[in-house]
Amino acid sequence: TPVVEYRSIRKQYGEFVAIGSVTARVNKGEVVCLIGPSGSGKSTLLRTTNALEQIQGGELLFDGKPLPASKAGIRQVRQRMGMVFQNFELFPHKTVLENITVGPRTVLKVSEQEARKRAVALLDKVGLADKADKYPANLSGGQQQRVAIARALAMEPEVMLFDEPTSALDPETIGEVLNVMKRLAEEGMTMIVVTHEMTFARRVADWVVVFDRGNIVEQGPAAQIFDNP
Chain positions contacting ligand ADP, by CB under 6 A: 13, 16, 18, 25-27, 30, 32, 36, 38-44, 194, 206-207, 211
Half-sphere exposure of 74 (CA within 13 A, CB side): 12
Q: How far is the CB of 38 from ligand ADP (least distance, A)?
A: 4
Half-sphere exposure of 185 (CA within 13 A, CB side): 23
Q: How far is the CB of 91 from ligand ADP (least distance, A)?
A: 24
Smaller CB separation from ligand ADP, 25 or 78: 25
Smaller CB separation from ligand ADP, 16 or 171: 16
Q: How far is the CB of 86 from ligand ADP (least distance, A)?
A: 10
Smaller CB separation from ligand ADP, 107 or 168: 168
Other beta carbons within 10 angstroms of residue 38's beta carbon come to: 9
Determine contact, residues 218/210, Cβ cutoff 8 Å: yes
Smaller CB separation from ligand ADP, 8 or 79: 8
- Burial of 127: CB neighbours in 10 Å, binned 0-12, 13-18, 19+: middle
3-state helix, strand, coil in the chain (%, to 5): 40, 30, 35
Q: Tally DSSP H helices, then E strands, for the chain.
A: 8, 10
CA distance 121 to 170: 26
Q: How far is the CB of 30 from ligand ADP (least distance, A)?
A: 5
Residue nearest to ligand ADP (CB): 43
Smaller CB separation from ligand ADP, 36 or 104: 36
Determine contact, residues 203/226, Cβ cutoff 8 Å: no
Smaller CB separation from ligand ADP, 38 or 113: 38
Chain centroid to CA 182: how far?
13
Q: How far is the CB of 39 from ligand ADP (least distance, A)?
A: 4
Identify the DSSP state of 133. Answer: T
CA pseudo-torsion sign 46, 144, 222, 80:
negative
Q: How far is the CB of 145 from ligand ADP (least distance, A)?
A: 18
CA end-to-end span of the chain: 31
Smaller CB separation from ligand ADP, 62 or 207: 207
